[in-house]
Amino acid sequence: MSVDEKTVRRIAHLARIAVTDEEVPHLQGELNAILSFVEQLNEVNVDGVEPMTSVTPMIMKKRQDGVTDGGHPEKIVQNAPATEDNFFLVPKVVE
């Protein structure tokens, strides 16, 4: 797969990057080099290789999923400038 001038300009447009006419050939070469490297990776035999999310084996730490009463709501809202029935009151911003 190779990238042409039109594709370079489209990629630059999508990335919101200003590209001059002089920069297009250089970027075209860079993108083609990247794509050729990716094509080389397709030649690697990965049969029997397990997918991994990390280079070191790790077990995700999990906490016990338990229902709690949420603590003490009156302590949570005690520093709020305005409250009502243990809820925060905020000024109206949409009319």
Question: What pLDDT was estimated at residue 2?
Answer: 86
Question: What pLDDT was estimated at residue 74?
Answer: 85
Q: What percent of the chain has pLDDT over 90?
A: 49
Let me know the angle formed at the C-alpha of 71 by 67 and 77, rounded to the nearest 5 degrees: 135
Q: Is the distance from CB of 31 to CB of 23 less than 8 angstroms?
A: no
The Cα–Cα gap between 89 and 95 comes to 16
For residue 23, is pLDDT > 90? yes
Q: What is the pLDDT of residues 53-89, one digit of tens each?
A: 788 877 888 888 887 767 788 888 888 999 998 899 9
- Whether the full predicted model's pTM is greater than 0.75, yes or no, is no
Angstrom CA distances, 7 to 3, 11, 20, 27, stand at 6, 6, 14, 10
Interacting residues of 52 by C-beta distance below 8 A, sequence separation 6+:
none
